[in-house]
Amino acid sequence: MKIVIDYDLCESNAVCMGIAPEVFDVRDDDLLYLLDENPGDDLRPKVEEAARRCPKQAILIQD
């Protein structure tokens, strides 16, 4: 699973970090950092949940 963030869309709402902190990190500079671009399949449910709950739909999952 490969994750791509559309940084033009991302508004750093940080919803993704609340759901999958192993993968997404919004730091004190208010920017989103992708901790793991290719997380293991055990994290797939969380990453899909984060993608769905992103208010800007800025998280793309490429299989």
Partner 1 sequence: MDLERVVVVGASLAGLTAAASLREQGWDGHLVVVDAAMELPADRPPLSKQVLAGTMDSAAARQPLADRIDELDIDLRLGHRVEGFGADDHRIKFFNDHELTADGVIVATGANARWPAPRDELPAGVHVVRTLEDSLALKAELDTAAGPLVVLGAGFIGAEVAATARTAGHDVTMIEAAPQPLARVLPSEVGAAVAKLHRDHGVDVRVGVGFASIDAGPGGRVESVTLSDGSVVPASVVVAGLGADPSIEWLSGSGLSLGNGVVCDETLLAAPGVTAAGDVANWFNPTFGERMRVEQWDHAIESGRAAAVRLLAEAGGDAPQPFASVPWFWSDQYDRKLQMAGRPSGNDEAVVIDGELGAERFAVAFRRGDRCTGVLACNRPRLAVVSRTRMTQSLAWDHVVGA
Structure tokens at 11: 């508004």
**43 part of the interface to partner 1, by CB under 8 A:** no
39 contacts: CB under 8 Å, gap ≥ 6: 1, 3, 22, 23, 47
Which residue's CB is nearer to partner 1, number 26 or number 39?
26
Site for partner 1 in 2-31 (CB under 8 A): 11-15, 17-18, 26-28, 30
C-beta of 15: minimal distance to partner 1 in Å? Answer: 7
The answer to whether residues 26 and 58 touch, using CB atoms and an 8 Å cutoff, is: no
- Contact between 41 and partner 1 by CB under 8 A: the answer reads no
